[in-house]
Amino acid sequence: MPWKRMSFKDGKVWAETDDSGELVIERGLVRICYRQNDDRTYSARADALSEIDHDAYDAIKESKKKRKKAAAKKREAGESKGPVGGFPSAKPCATVVTEDEVPEEAIVVYTDGACFSNPGPMGAGVVLIWNDNRREISTFLGHGTNNLAELHAVRLALEAIKNPEIPVRIFSDSSYVIGLLARGWKAKENREVVDELRTLARGFPDLAFVKVKGHAGIELNERVDELAKIAAEKGR
């Protein structure tokens, strides 16, 4: 089947067409991919696809560049500071943004880790949302600490994403995880896991965290907390 370059949620995708150039629509959905001839395809609503407005697209692209530059400046300002102060810093592999800076085309992720007794049985909870798709993960992790569970929750989320080229925004209430991955904190504990997670995170060109307040009634943050505790309960 041929493919046509189309606009989708302020970005560009390849959409499946028939031989006449018309979109192939099944039950209101069109197959799309982010790279031509990519084996990994997704579904998008036909009414969400449109012809490319190059002027509008260029304006959006320029706006994204400005947001990335602003985020980079914030990151650079915090690179010389460790979790307490005075510790050597590591190169961040993500940025920190506000909820208002989350692009519409991003995969939205919520993660949380739980641990009974600390150390004790650990569990991870993850919710991933992209367009109309939602996936939940609840996994028992074995014996360890709450911080280790938080790290593994982010790892599970990133490993579940098939297309790293799509922007990813991780909502987390863990200052520990955000500090290690996005603020240049040096890992004093869990170094092997942190190094592996940083390597994984660097495979995502547009990865950022959104800091949320824990146990504040935020629906999806409460949900991943519940999923993490359910998983940890299996080890008790």
Beta carbons within 10 angstroms of residue 164's beta carbon: 17
**Active-site residue (options: 39, 86, 215, 217):** 215
173 annotated active-site = yes
Burial of 179 (0-12, 13-18, 19+ CB in 10 A): buried
Task: Please state, in angstroms and rounded to a whole number, the distance separating the CA atoms of residues 113 and 127.
Answer: 12
Q: Facing residues of 13 across strands? A: 6
39 annotated active-site = no
**Active-site residue (options: 125, 144, 150, 184):** 150
Name every residue whose Cβ is closer than 8 Å to that of residue 35 and which is 6 or more positions away in sequence: 14, 165
DSSP readout, 41-94? Answer: -EEEEGGGEE---HHHHHHHHHHHHHHHHHHHHHHHHHTT--SSSSSPP---SS
The answer to whether residues 140 and 117 touch, using CB atoms and an 8 Å cutoff, is no
112 annotated active-site = yes
In the 8-state DSSP scheme, what is residue 229?
A: H
**Active-site residue (options: 82, 113, 179, 184):** 113
**Active-site residue (options: 123, 144, 184, 225):** 225
233 annotated active-site = no
In the 8-state DSSP scheme, what is residue 35?
A: S
**Active-site residue (options: 112, 125, 144, 179):** 112
**Active-site residue (options: 125, 173, 179, 184):** 173
Task: Kindly list the catalytic residues.
Answer: 112-113, 150, 173, 215, 225
